[in-house]
């Protein structure tokens, strides 16, 4: 591992210099990696490993949309694409990439195929951390590991194709063979991680659930709605309100943050913007801090898990989710967004 200074705190990370692809291929040369689930993370991880010379098969419910997608991606029924149980039987490393609720439902079916010496791999600490609620308790004679890309499976694939990689955390929950860490790092490299940093199953799920409910998705959508509504209430047009709330952030400022950091973004804005942002970031921080404390406690206590499992296991889950997403889509904010995106030069050229 390499020691890297993160703002005054030294951390261990693993890059391609410490663990090159050739080493990953050597560690995994006698393994058959079965990707169970071909939804959000499955395609990116499976295709990246396949392109990196690792033996990969896919397990998916036969005949559904994800099964057809796997075929379009080059997996062949009966050769590299199988029903989940058959893939679990053939695989020596089982990448359990179903949804969190799906993992709970499938567990009694999967568990008999976790024979001695196999490896059970997760990309989320949910099922193991909250095992009292999920019932996911692996046998003692298998390795249980985690590699969690910090982004969607689509981003993992796209970053791999453009050569940039997507950072991932990794953890070992159970080392039955004495080789769990090497397999974890090899798989992390194989799926196309930019670099790997250590965590635990518990810390991964606490940070992940907080992040997606907070800054990454829930908070982001909420503050955008709040600012857009204030601008509209004060007479600004939908186009102006959307551009000042979303378009400038996604098309300009966040790219500067991604390139060199928040301070660099501030340094490349007007002095008026700098002064106002510096003055107002404190009040915003203090206003939302109690919400984040409440959110983190809800994650840590298992309440968020209870809600997820209850809602996602309901028979009408998909219908209710689609209705909620459609309601979001119908909001003036996002209808304005569709119109703004259509006016981008690259989209006008497609017409």
What are the residue numbers of the active site? 124
- Residues contacting residue 81 through CB under 8 Å, at least 6 positions apart: 57, 58, 60, 67, 70, 71, 75
The H-assigned helical ranges of the chain are: 21-27, 42-51, 65-72, 84-90, 100-110, 126-129, 131-134, 153-162, 180-190, 201-213, 218-233, 238-242, 248, 254-260, 262-267, 271-301, 303-312, 317-330, 332-342, 345-348
Tell me the longest C-alpha to C-alpha distance in the chain. 67
In angstroms, the CA 49 to CA 82 distance is: 17
Q: Which of 283, 301, 148, 295 is nearest to 218 (CA)?
A: 295
DSSP string, 22-88: HHHHHHTTT--EEEE--SSSHHHHHHHHHHTT--EEEE--TTSHHHHHHHHTT--BTTTEE-HHHHH
The DSSP call for residue 329 is H
Whether the CB-CB separation of 10 and 19 falls below 8 Å is answered with no
């Amino acid at each position: 591992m390499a020691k890297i200074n993160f703002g005054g705190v030294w951390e261990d990370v693993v890059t391609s210099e410490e663990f090159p692809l050739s080493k990953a291929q050597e560690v995994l040369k006698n393994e058959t990696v079965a990707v169970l689930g071909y939804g959000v993370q499955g395609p990116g991880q499976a295709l990246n490993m396949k392109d990196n010379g690792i033996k990969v098969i896919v397990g998916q419910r036969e005949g559904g949309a994800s099964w057809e997608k796997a075929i379009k991606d080059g997996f062949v029924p009966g050769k590299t694409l199988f029903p989940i149980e058959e893939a679990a039987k053939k695989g020596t490393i089982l990448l359990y990439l179903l949804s969190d609720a799906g993992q709970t439902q499938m567990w009694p079916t999967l568990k008999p195929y976790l024979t001695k010496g196999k490896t059970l791999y997760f990309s989320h600490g949910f099922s193991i951390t909250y095992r009292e609620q999920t019932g996911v308790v692996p046998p003692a004679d298998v390795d249980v590991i985690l590699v969690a890309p910090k982004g969607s499976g689509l981003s993992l694939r796209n970053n791999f194709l453009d050569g940039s990689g997507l950072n991932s955390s990794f953890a070992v929950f159970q080392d039955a063979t004495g080789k769990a860490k090497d397999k974890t790092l090899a798989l992390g490299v194989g799926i196309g991680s930019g670099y790997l940093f250590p965590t635990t199953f518990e810390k991964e799920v606490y940070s992940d659930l907080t992040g997606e409910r907070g800054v990454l998705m829930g908070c982001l959508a909420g503050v955008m709605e709040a600012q857009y509504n204030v601008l509209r209430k004060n007479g600004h047009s939908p186009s102006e309100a959307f551009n000042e709330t979303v378009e400038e952030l996604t098309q300009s400022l966040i790219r500067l943050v991604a390139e060199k950091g928040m301070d660099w973004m501030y340094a490349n804005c007007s002095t008026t913007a700098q002064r106002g942002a510096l003055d107002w970031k404190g009040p915003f921080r203090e206003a939302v801090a109690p919400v984040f404390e409440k959110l983190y406690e809800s994650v840590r206590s298992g309440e968020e898990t209870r809600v997820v499992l209850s809602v996602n296991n309901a028979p009408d889950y998909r219908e209710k989710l689609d209705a909620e997403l459609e309601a979001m889509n119908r909001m003036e904010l996002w209808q304005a967004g569709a119109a703004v995106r259509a006016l981008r030069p690259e989209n006008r050229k497609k017409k």
